[in-house]
């Protein structure tokens, strides 16, 4: 086993939630009076914390409208939108296989809120796979490396023994800032060429390939 700690992004890496995020953000923007957002623009901010995502999508937005947009996004994501979200093929089997190793630690580093992550943990019965997690609302948003620093400290594991797995340049750059190995997946939101700039140690086109490599 190459690593003692494997840290995973959530949206676009483990769960195919991209269509739900795009749909909800577009609806929230219309209801907040900001107007239409292009699919590509919303896909670009997936992985950031929600305040950072809104600021990027809506430059110059005032505080009141930004708060309304945030609230409408949360409503649609939890209640108003029924776009399905599923684990990518091979993810559940891969995580079960890794979790069976008693010497290995698994963690999540996500742009979701703590409330949102705990909800999806409950709904998908997936929280049992992970020893620790960090969300954007309880620390710094990606690509700042603080959530990785906190996970390393909590689990008492050195940076050389850990790897970050993600589908965006924010995941890759967060890890590169610490000198942590990083693995890119190309089935999420950012293009392979964009991910390659951060020099991942491995690039997976399918989740099954990702977990085969991690388990080796």
- Render pLDDT for 66-107 as a digit per residue (tens, 0 to 9): 999 999 999 998 887 778 899 999 999 999 999 999 999 999
Percent of the chain with pLDDT over 70: 100
In tens, the pLDDT along 118-156 reads 999 999 999 999 999 999 999 999 999 999 999 999 999
DSSP notation for 124-179: HT-GGG-SEEEETTSSPPTTSTHHHHHHHHHHT--GGGEEEEESSHHHHHHHHTTT
Superfamily of the domain at 18-80:
Putative phosphatase; domain 2 (1.10.150.240)
Does the domain at 5-16+87-215 match CATH 3.40.50.1000? Answer given as yes
Q: Where in the chain is the domain with CATH 3.40.50.1000?
A: 5-16+87-215
pLDDT in tens, 50-62: 999 999 999 999 9
Q: What residue ranges of the chain are covered by domains with CATH 1.10.150.240?
A: 18-80
Q: Which pLDDT value is given to residue 165?
A: 98
Does the pLDDT value for residue 160 go beyond 90?
yes
């Amino acid at each position: 086993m190459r690593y003692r700690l494997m840290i995973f992004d959530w949206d676009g890496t483990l769960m195919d939630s991209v269509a739900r995020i795009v749909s909800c953000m577009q609806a929230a923007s219309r209801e907040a009076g900001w107007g239409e957002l292009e699919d590509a623009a919303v896909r670009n901010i997936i992985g950031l914390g929600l305040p950072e995502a809104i600021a990027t999508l809506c430059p110059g937005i005032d505080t009141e409208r930004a708060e309304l947009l945030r609230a409408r996004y949360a409503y649609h994501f939890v209640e108003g939108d029924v776009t399905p979200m599923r684990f990518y093929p091979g993810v559940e089997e891969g995580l079960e296989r890794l979790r069976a190793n008693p010497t290995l630690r698994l963690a999540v580093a996500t742009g979701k809120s703590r409330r949102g992550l705990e909800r999806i943990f409950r709904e998908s019965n997936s929280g049992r796979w992970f020893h620790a997690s960090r969300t954007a609302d309880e620390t710094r948003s990606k690509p700042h490396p603080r959530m990785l620093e906190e996970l390393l400290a909590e689990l008492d594991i050195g940076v050389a023994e850990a790897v970050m797995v993600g589908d965006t340049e924010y995941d890759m750059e967060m890890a590169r800032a610490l000198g942590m190995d990083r693995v890119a997946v190309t089935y999420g939101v950012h293009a392979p060429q964009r991910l390659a700039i951060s020099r991942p140690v491995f690039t997976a086109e399918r989740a099954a390939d990702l977990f085969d490599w991690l388990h080796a």
